[in-house]
């Protein structure tokens, strides 16, 4: 099982880059930055752009996997997203993991900018955009005429990773529909939206609900405080992510976590 550290895009950018460097030195396997445009006003949290942050992290690290966890793809232009991921994959030497979800802030990140806020349309746009992005990464001509996107293009360069960077799909457990989406790709990020983490017993149920998976398929869980990593491994998790909720000592706690070996 591999270990990842979730970094908040709301923190000062230079400290986030330093955190990633520290995490790599301490033996963490991945660092992942959330992808938000704005947060609810009551939180007073101010997010930075994850792709600029990840570009800086790619240049200051050499081993650790990295990516946005997760990108609400339905509010993105698939060709722009595809190009960003390819560029980051080249900058990092093939270390990108692509996290995709529907988004959980429909008012702040969709309706506020005139994008479709309904869950149904976000799901439709996400599925179509994933097909477009994956096809563009092939380097072959893509001719696509769908309900939301039209493409007739060849996009190059292709990613370093072939046939593509891994695509992980976020699943707000116990919602079963994202599991069906995840089966088409390379992994699932299981999240309890109320608590923000998963218990090992819940991860086991996710694995059972997924059924037989393709070789290399990842089951990613958010670490529950106080639970042993071995419990998650036995439940079927392949990645365990440590995420800390916003608090007065948020950055200090993250820096302490990054400085310690995850195992």
Q: What is the CATH number of the domain that holds 198?
A: 3.20.20.30
- Cis peptide before 157, with omega less than 30 degrees from 0? yes
What pLDDT score was predicted for residue 189?
97
Residue-number span of the structural domain to which 187 is assigned: 2-259
Residue 103 CB neighbours (<10 A): 24
Tokens encoding 232: 């998650």
User: Tens of pLDDT along 139-189?
Assistant: 999 999 999 999 999 999 999 999 999 999 999 998 889 999 999 999 999
Q: With cut-offs at 50, 70 and 90, classify the pLDDT of residue 207.
A: very high
Among residues 214, 223, 166, the alpha carbon closest in space to that of 191 is found at 223
Does residue 200 register a pLDDT over 80?
Answer: yes
Residues 200 and 235: beta-carbon distance below 8 Å: yes
Which of 214 and 47 is assigned the larger pLDDT? Answer: 47
To which residue do tokens 């990593």 refer? 229
Domain count, the chain: 1
Q: How far apart are the first and last CA of the chain?
A: 10
What pLDDT score was predicted for residue 34?
96
What pLDDT score was predicted for residue 248?
67
What pLDDT score was predicted for residue 225?
87
Percentage, residues of the chain above pLDDT 70: 100
To which residue do tokens 């923190």 refer? 11
Residues 243 and 191: beta-carbon distance below 8 Å: no
Residues 97 and 66: beta-carbon distance below 8 Å: yes
Does residue 258 register a pLDDT over 80?
Answer: yes
Give residue 247's Cα distance to chain centre: 22
Alpha carbon distance 233, 247 (integer Å)? 29
Q: With cut-offs at 50, 70 and 90, classify the pLDDT of residue 193.
A: confident
Percent helix, strand and coil across the chain, each to the nearest 5: 40, 20, 40
Does residue 196 register a pLDDT over 90?
Answer: no
Does residue 113 register a pLDDT over 90?
Answer: yes
Among residues 223, 255, 249, 257, the alpha carbon closest in space to that of 237 is found at 223
Q: With cut-offs at 50, 70 and 90, classify the pLDDT of residue 247.
A: confident
Residues 250 and 233: beta-carbon distance below 8 Å: no
Burial class from Cβ neighbours inside 10 Å (0-12, 13-18, 19+) for residue 226 reads: exposed
What pLDDT score was predicted for residue 41?
92
Does residue 249 register a pLDDT over 90?
Answer: no
Q: With cut-offs at 50, 70 and 90, classify the pLDDT of residue 133.
A: very high
């Amino acid at each position: 099982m591999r270990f990842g550290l979730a970094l908040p895009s709301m923190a000062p950018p230079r400290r986030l880059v330093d955190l990633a460097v520290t995490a790599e030195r301490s033996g963490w396997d991945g660092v992942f930055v959330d992808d938000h445009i704005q947060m609810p006003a009551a939180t007073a949290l101010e997010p930075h752009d994850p792709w600029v942050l990840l570009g800086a992290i790619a240049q200051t690290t050499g081993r650790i996997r990295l990516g946005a966890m997760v990108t609400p793809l339905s509010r993105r232009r698939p060709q722009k997203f595809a190009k960003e991921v390819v560029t980051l994959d080249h900058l990092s030497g093939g270390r990108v993991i692509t996290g995709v979800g529907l988004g959980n802030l429909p008012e702040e990140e969709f309706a506020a900018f005139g994008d479709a806020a309904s869950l149904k349309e976000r799901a439709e746009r996400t599925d179509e955009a994933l097909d477009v992005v994956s096809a563009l990464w092939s380097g072959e001509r893509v001719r696509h005429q769908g309900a939301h996107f039209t493409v007739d293009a060849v996009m190059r360069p292709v990613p370093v990773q072939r046939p593509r960077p891994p695509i992980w799909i976020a699943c707000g457990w116990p919602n079963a529909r994202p599991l069906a989406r995840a089966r088409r790709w390379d992994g699932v990020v299981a999240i309890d939206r109320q608590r923000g983490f998963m218990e090992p017993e819940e991860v086991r149920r996710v694995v059972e609900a997924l059924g037989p998976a393709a070789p290399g398929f990842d089951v990613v869980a958010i670490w529950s405080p106080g639970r042993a990593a071995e419990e998650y491994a036995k439940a079927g998790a392949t990645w365990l992510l440590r995420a800390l909720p916003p608090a007065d000592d948020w950055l200090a706690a993250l820096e302490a976590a990054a400085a310690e070996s995850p195992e």
